[in-house]
Structure 1
Amino acid sequence: MTRSSTTRSRHPIRHTVTAVAVGLLAGTGLFAAGPAGAASSAPSPTPSARDAGIRAPGEAYMGWTQDGAGRARPTPAQAARASSLAAATQTPGIDVSSWQGNVDWASWWSQGTKFAFVKATEGTTYRNPYFAQQYNGSYNVGMTRGSYHFALPDNSSGTAQADWFVGHGGGWSADGRTLPGVLDIEYNPYGATCYGLSQASMRSWIAAFTGRYKALTGRDAIIYTTTSWWTTCTGNTSQFSASNPLWVARYNTTPGTLPAGWAYYTFWQYTDSPLDKDYFNGDLSRLRALALG
C-alpha cells in the first residue's frame, strides 16, 4: 500500500525515510525519522498494537485502540450519525501522525475541516518526521492547529516528557490559531495497560507532566484519553477536571460517559474513518478563544 494523506488502514505499512532525508532533517534541526537513538532493548509492540499497525516504538498514534484489545472501528452508520448530531453546534477537525505522511491540507480545508492536531513526540526519543509539513501546512491553509505527545509513563518522568514535547513542537504562542498542547495518555501499545504504575503513581505522573507543561508555556495541557483507560489506570480521578480540557475518544454516536469531574468534553474523537476525525465542542469563535488563551 502506498502512503496516503487521507487513509490509514488497520494494518498500515511503516513508512521509511532514506538516509538522505534523515540528513536533510537533521541539517535543518527539525525532526529525525523514527525513534531517534532507540536501543535494541526497546520494548516491542503488543499483539493488539501490532494488529493496529504499530511495529516499533514511536509508531503509536492517538486512539490506536478503544479498549486495549485492538482498534475498534465504528460502523459507517455510527460515524454518519455522530457527524449529523454534532455538525450544527460543533467544529470539525482531524488529528494526524506520521502514518498520514505529507497531508493534502488544501483538500481537507475545502471539506470544512477547521482545526488539526499533529503528533509531535513520543516518550523522550521519538519525533514525528512529518511534523513540519503537517503542523505548518495546516496553519498555512487557515486551520487552527495544535500538537500532541504520546505519553510513555514507564519510559521517563512526566517532567522529562513535557520538556521533550515543548522542545520539539509542543510549545504554544498567543497568535489565536495555535492550541495548547495535548497529553495523549491511553492504552499502552508496548506492554502493561497502566505502564506498570499504580493508580496513585499514574496520577502523580500526569500531574508532573501537566504542571511542567504549564510552567513552560503558561497554558494547561489538554488531556486526551478514553473513559475506560482513565478509570482503570487513574482510579477515575477528578483531579485534573478543573484545569485541563478533556479530549475524549469514543467511536460511536455519542461520546458516552465522561471521566469523573468533567461535566463536558472540549474535544471528541468520534471516528478513524477515513482518518481520525474530531469535534470541538463549540463554534469556531470559541475554538479560537481557546487558542488565544
Structure 2
Amino acid sequence: MDIVIGGGLSGLILARNKGALVLERQPHLGGLVHFAFQQFRIPAIPILIRKKEVLERILKSPSFEEFVPQVVVEKEEHLKEKVCDECAELPSWLNFEGKLYLASDVISELTANVRVLYAYPTAVDVNNRKVITNKGSVIKYDTLYVTSSRIEMDEMLGVKEPLSYVSLYELILLLPHKETEWNVYVNGNSGVSFSYVIKAEHESFDVYYVYAFFKKNQRYPDSYRVFGDLKRLKIVTKDEVLGYRTLVVKEAILFGAPAQMSVEGIKLCGRLGLWSNLSVEETIEQARKC
C-alpha cells in the first residue's frame, strides 16, 4: 500500500492518482486550500493560477473566473527586506503581474472517496518500510510520498539540512461589496504589520486576504494590530467586517539548501516535500508527475 503524508493539494492529487492512504494531522483535508468559510465555500488562500487548463487537468468541472490584478504598491523598495530578506527573491505566488484566474473550489472533487487517517507520523522505519503514527498505528508502505514538512521528515530520518522559513499570519475578512481602485494592495513599510491585501469578489460580499509575514524568532502580529493598521491606512475598519478567520502558516516562504535526498521507498513531493516556493499551478503540475 502507498501512503501520502499530508492531505493538502499535492497530497490529494497523489492520493487519487496512486490510490494511496492519506495521513493528515489537521481535522480537515485541503491544507491551504481548505474552506475557511465552509458555508460559503471560501478557501483559506486565494487560489490564483495563470493557466486555467492546469485545473482542467485535475478537475472535471473546475470553477474559476478571470482576475485582472489592479495593484497599488507603497514602499516597494523595502518590500523584499520586510517580507523575506534572506530569500534570493520573493515567491512567484506573490507576483501579481498579468492576467490570472481565481478558482473557488479545488478540493471538493479531490476529497471524494479519499482514504484518510487523521494522524501524523512520529517515526519512519525505512528498513522495514513502516510508519508509526501518534495514535499508535503501525502501517506498512510500498512507497511513502511526503508532502508535509521536510524539516519534520528530516528529524525522523536523522537528516540535517540547512532549511529555514518565514511564517504567515493571515486574516480572511468578509466585507460588503465596496468599490476600490485596487484588488491587490502591497505595502513594504516595516512599520505596517501586514504586507499584502488581496481582494476577491464573492457573489454576496468581498473577501479580503491580509498577509502579515514574520520570522521564526518573531512573535506573530495579532489581529488587533493588523486591524489597527488596516484602519489607519483607510483600507477597512473592523466595524465593516461581516466575519473573519485567522490562519497561521508556519512554513510559508521557504529558503535554504535542500540536499538531493535519496531514501529507497520515499518520494518527496509538493511545496513542503521539495522545500520549494511553488505556486498553486506549479504544485498541481509537480504532484501529477511525482
Give the shorter-chain TM-score range. under 0.3
Higher relative contact order (CA 8 A, sep 6+): 2
Larger radius of gyration: 2
Which has the larger strand fraction?
A: 2
Name the TM-score, length of structure 2 as normaliser.
0.26
Larger helix proportion, structure 1 or 2? 1
